[in-house]
Structure 1
Amino acid sequence: MLKANDWQSQIYINGFAGKNDQVTPDWNKLEAQAIQKMDHKAAGYIVGGAGLQETVAANRSGFAQWKIVPRMLRNVEQSDTSINLFGQTFSSPFWLCPIGVLEMVHPEADLAVAKAAAQAGIPYVFSNQASVPMETCAGAMGTAPRFFQLYWSKNRDLVASFVQRAEACGCAGIVLTLDTTLLGWRTMDLDLAYLPFMEGKGIAQYTSDPVFQKMLDAKLQDPNAAGPPRPPLTMQLLKGLISSVQRYPGKGFLQKLRSGRPMGAVQLFVQTYSNPAITWEDLAFLREHTKLPILLKGILHPDDARKALDYGMNGIVVSNHGGRQVDGAISAIEALPGVVEAVNKQVPVILDSGIRGGADVFKALALGASAVGLGRPYVYGLTLGGQQGVYEVLRHLMADFELTMRLAGCRRVEEIERGCLNV
């Protein structure tokens, strides 16, 4: 793996030869180019946030209040960006956040991301709402590190099945997302009246699951089962029906259509995928069904962080879901110091929401984060260049962080601490 200055030099040398990378290292251009290439529905789903988008904006502005204070003459010729999490050593303090329905931006979807993550040596958190089953992605990653994101559905057997599958395909931990027991008021999606799951997109973890298939059998065999209200027959509805049939596993379009399983799967998913009734006491069920570390994602309040420790959780992910759930919420970086203080180094604390450059990573680590999660930027790389596009985004960010760390006077991640910042 090239060091940061070597990666930087390679970009300049390639440019001198008239060859540019597939994706720009300029964040603003990256986002603009990706949005331009996306279908407008995909752009609304990937880019959009809740309400007035205030939390999306706060995730960026929250970083600006913290200023790096570089120190000089520290001999930073050699550097080490590695970290240790859950007994494993990773080459850099990043992981790839779970983002669903990636088939909206590239046909290889999660599989391309999994391959790029393995190539870069960065852990990938498989999305609960993936377009590709976790087993397929795990098979493409070899021994590279991965985790699994879990949404708590209304069916406990399904929850247990997802966890067992994650263990079987080598995941290093379960990332339980707490902040999406209901969908936020996502105005860009609502303005388009579009939810990709209705077309059978982003439900590959379900249609590949044996418990979900048994649930679907029962649903289709129950003559008294009530389905959702039927919308009027339109061309758009027909396109959605065709999409759901095409995406359902198996061969034979007409055979799948006649079985009723594709649309039945969509309906069953909508009925079961989230559960707003879960409480802290439900965590015991999860612990009974896995020996893997359990991280709680969506923690923003110090009291919730303390409670997570009381309930035996193994890690915290400070996140507001990229601003997609509660408009006007506190930014992730603002919440980080209080959560870190509450946890008091008893478990790792990972920050996501708003990371766009190496300076953001440095600031998060200085405020006590053990690692950071990257979200939308890698999706933009996927949009523009598939697996190679994701890899280039990751390498750009890794190089940016390493150079920032060294230029600030730190040789190792352990040297990045609160005294490196001024507010």
Structure 2
Amino acid sequence: MSGGAPLPVPVKGEDIVILNIDDIKKTASKNLPVTAREFFNSGSTYQTTIAENSAAFDKYRLRSRVLVDVSSLNTSTTCLGQPIKFPLCIAPAGLQAMAHPDGELATARACSSFGVNMGISSYANYSTGDITAAGGHGISYAMQLYPMRNRQLQERIIQRAEAAGCKAILLTGDSPVLGVRYNEWRNDFRTPEGLSFPNLERTSEVIRETTHDSGFMQYNDDSHSWARDIAWLRGKTKMQIWIKGILTAEDTNLAIRHGCDGIIVSNHGGRQLDGAPATLDALLECVEAARGRIPVHMDGGIRRGSDIFVALALGAECVWVGRPVIWGLAYKGQEGVEKVLQVLYEDFRRCMALCGCRGVEEITRDCLARMTADGLLVRCKL
């Protein structure tokens, strides 16, 4: 008996039991072809940064509190002017129709049903308008954008995003070139036949003429700069401008200096510069540089609700997740993405309760401890 209640009796059947994100990943991996699985799951070069993104969370310990009334616990917060169920948004991730035919449409519906915001990739397999129409108007959308050689195309992408109701541009600044992705090269990875990139105005036939790497370099502008690109965007849109890919205090200060509305601490899911720090390790430096002047979000390595808690305790206002959504799609489409969100939400809520936090504003560094090199547990004080 446990606390006077009967112990749960597991019921085994033919259905797969999904209890956590790792369960979803394992099931999704079985459903994906090898080339798709390696495209989604791999990082750059020697996979160092992608591995450390998740491992960084294991450096911290949660300081559980007792006898705190958490009966009215509230996980909600506000992001991009929209109340959301808990401090998590769906990161922009391309080629979602390679994981499930409904792709970004299924993701948008899942976000809407669960009450979290969604980022839309330039490499989405459905148009921005179709995606926001699928999800409806109860959530906020952000359009991910790269600096582009073709300014007319870039402006059309912005105009379509505005017309579709997007609230922000997520300018991805960490990709003057693509990272070295050995699996893509070994597999001669190309977008599967029949999948297009409507935001980039590229048909399946055009896309398949080149590798993913070569196709990216055809339109990406490696002459981008803070002064030129932020000013140009300000002249073209009233949407918020966020910079995605920040890892240093220097770039945090530059984002503030150039009037950006927020930053996402990100290393592109470990797919760009291998050897760059885990985003959780870079987060503290960026939060301290920002000093509350702009919102700081982060992505990378979030696999548990307690990971969300740790990121918030270290100063992030919200986290974004990418690969778990892809795994959810490959597992069971919209229902799979909803399962991902449910797993992360329930774990986050339980973590808040056990740490005695009744609202997200109570999640601070005082909730964490960290192991020192000599094996001592030390509080992460404010």
* TM norm structure 1: 0.80
Which residue is equivalent to 2:153? 158
What aligned pairs does 1:45-84 form with structure 2 within 5 A after superposition?
A: 45-84=39-78
Q: Does 1:26 align with 2:20?
A: yes
Matches for 1:254-333 after TM superposition, within 5 Å: 270=216, 272-281=218-227, 282-333=229-280
Q: Which runs of 5 or more residues in structure 1 are unaligned? A: 1-11, 213-242, 246-260
Alpha carbons of structure 1 residues 264 and 57: separation in structure 2 relative to 1, 3 Å? closer
2:116 is matched with 122
Instruction: Give, in whole Å, the separation in 2 of the partners of 1:59 and 1:271.
Output: 26
For residue 226 of structure 1, what is the aligned residue in structure 2?
none
Q: Measure how far apart 1:134 and its partner are.
A: 0.7
Question: CA offsets, 1:116-143, max 9 Å, x none?
Answer: 1111111010111001111001111121
Would the aligned equivalents of 1:23 and 1:30 in 2 still touch at CA under 8 Å? no
- Give the secondary structure class of the aligned counterpart of 1:196: coil
CA contact (8 A) 2:146 2:173 kept: yes
Give the whole-Å Cα distance in 2 for the aligned partners of 1:51 and 1:264: 25
Matched, 1:401 2:348: yes
- Is it true that 1:196 corresponds to 2:156 in the alignment? no
What corresponds to 1:146 in structure 2? 141
Amino acid at match of 1:79: L
Query: Given that residues 362 and 404 in structure 1 are in contact (C-alpha distance below 8 angstroms), is that contact kept between their aligned partners in structure 2?
Result: yes
Q: What amino acid is aligned across from residue 177 of structure 1 in structure 2?
A: T
Which amino acid in 2 is paired with 1:114?
A
The percentage of aligned residue pairs carrying the same residue is 36
CA distances 1:11-34 after superposition (whole Å, capped 9, x unpaired): x89x769796x7712233322221
Instruction: Specify the alignment match of 2:95 in structure 1.
Output: 101
Q: Which moved more, 1:261-270 or 1:347-356?
A: 261-270
Determine the structure 2 residue equivalent to 1:365: 312
Q: Quick one: structure 1 residues 398 and 51, their matched pair in 2 at CA, closer, same or farther if it must change by over 3 Å?
A: same
What CA distance in whole angstroms lies between the structure 2 residues aligned with 1:265 and 1:322?
23
Q: Return 353-362 or 271-280, whichever deviates more.
A: 271-280
Q: Which residue of structure 2 aligns with residue 5 of structure 1? A: none
Query: What TM-score does the superposition give when structure 2 sets the normalisation length?
Result: 0.89
- Alpha carbons 1:151, 1:273 under 8 Å: kept: no
Which of these two proteins has the greater Rg computed from alpha carbons? 1
- Equivalent residue for 1:8? none
What is the distance in 2 between the residues matched to 1:276 and 1:17? 54
Structure 2: where are the runs of 5+ without partners? 1-7, 371-382
Aligned length: 360
- Give yes or no for contact 1:23–1:392 (8 Å, CA) kept in 2: no
Cα distance change of structure 1 residues 403 and 263 upon mapping to structure 2, 3 Å threshold? closer
Q: Counterparts of 1:385 and 1:87 in 2: how far apart (Å)?
A: 30
Cα deviation, 1:29-61, whole Å, max 9, x if unaligned, reads 322221121011101110010001000111011
Residue identity in the other structure for 1:382:
L
In proportion to residue count, which structure has more helix?
A: 1
Q: Which runs of 4+ in 1 moved over 3 A?
A: 15-20, 199-202, 261-272
Quick one: which amino acid aligns to residue 122 of structure 1? V
Q: Is the 8 A contact 1:23 1:389 kept in 2?
A: no
Q: Provide closer, same or farther for how the CA distance between residues 51 and 301 of structure 1 changes in structure 2, counting only shifts above 3 A.
A: same
Counterparts of 1:410 and 1:19 in 2: how far apart (Å)? Answer: 39
